């Protein structure tokens, strides 16, 4: 199972992109990274890592793994959590990045749960994940890359979380990967690696 943890900083990612023969607009990605830094601020992941590392991992998955070059998809990957996890709004994203990127970010943004209880939050998340089955293919690519970043080092999380997240990934995410050969193969390998969590 290949890990995508090389691009811890935008400088490293940009250098790899520039050195590769992949036709990507690094300057456009500069803008997305700058916006993500501004909106996420000093926010951290549950592991204590800077939030930007997760966004760059999702970008790395798409570029180095799946070979995606579509500018809107790559920009949305960098911005995929700004509406869900920061004060940024969809109109903020649209003002800077246009309607296509905003549509993709909107599809992968989990809506706030009605009510504060754990059951309400889980039900809202399940509804959101089911809705992704109707998402456009570009939005599904963003979600698949996001989840690769989240699950590739699942063994660093508490065991009860690992089991719950593994089951959720099997139920909702892996079926989304079926039409995408690279993602389908990666998730098959991941599923085997973490099969002990069943």
pLDDT at 51 over 90: yes
CA dist., res. 88 & res. 35, Å (int): 10
Domains plus CATH for the chain?
10-197 (1.10.3210.10)
pLDDT tens digits along 153-196? 999 899 999 999 999 999 999 999 999 999 999 999 999 999 99
Rg (CA), the chain: 16
CA dist., res. 112 & res. 96, Å (int): 24
CA dist., res. 139 & res. 73, Å (int): 7
pLDDT tens digits along 110-136? 987 776 688 888 888 888 999 999 999
The pair of three-digit structure tokens given for residue 43, joined into one six-digit string: 């926010």
Task: Give me the residues paired with residue 75 across strands.
Answer: none
pLDDT for the residue numbered 21:
81
Q: How confident is the model at residue 48 (pLDDT cuts 50, 70, 90)?
A: confident
- Write down how long the chain is: 198
Residue range 2-17: mean pLDDT, rounded: 94
Lowest mean pLDDT across 53-62, 108-117, 137-146, 173-182: 108-117
The answer to whether 70 touches 24, Cβ cutoff 8 Å, is no
The answer to whether 149 touches 52, Cβ cutoff 8 Å, is no
Task: Give me the residues paired with residue 50 across strands.
Answer: 44
Positions annotated as catalytic residues are: 84-85
């Amino acid at each position: 199972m290949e890990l995508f943890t090389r691009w811890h900083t935008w400088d490293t990612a940009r250098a790899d992109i520039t050195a590769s023969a992949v036709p990507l607009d690094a300057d456009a990605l500069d803008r997305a990274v700058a916006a993500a830094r501004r909106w996420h601020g000093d926010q951290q992941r549950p592991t204590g890592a800077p939030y930007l590392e997760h966004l760059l991992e999702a970008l790395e998955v798409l570029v180095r793994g799946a070979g995606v070059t579509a500018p809107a998809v790559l920009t949305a990957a960098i911005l995929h959590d700004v509406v869900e996890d920061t004060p940024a709004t969809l109109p903020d994203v649209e003002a800077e990045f246009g309607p296509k990127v905003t549509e993709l970010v909107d599809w992968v943004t989990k809506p706030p749960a009605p009510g504060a209880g754990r059951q309400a939050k889980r039900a809202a998340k399940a509804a959101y994940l089911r809705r992704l089955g109707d998402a456009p293919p570009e939005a599904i690519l963003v979600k698949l890359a996001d989840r690769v970043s989240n699950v590739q080092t699942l063994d660093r999380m508490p065991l009860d979380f690992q089991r719950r997240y593994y089951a959720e990934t099997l139920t909702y995410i892996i079926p989304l990967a079926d039409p995408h050969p690279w993602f389908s193969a990666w998730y098959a390998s991941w599923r085997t690696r973490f099969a002990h969590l069943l």
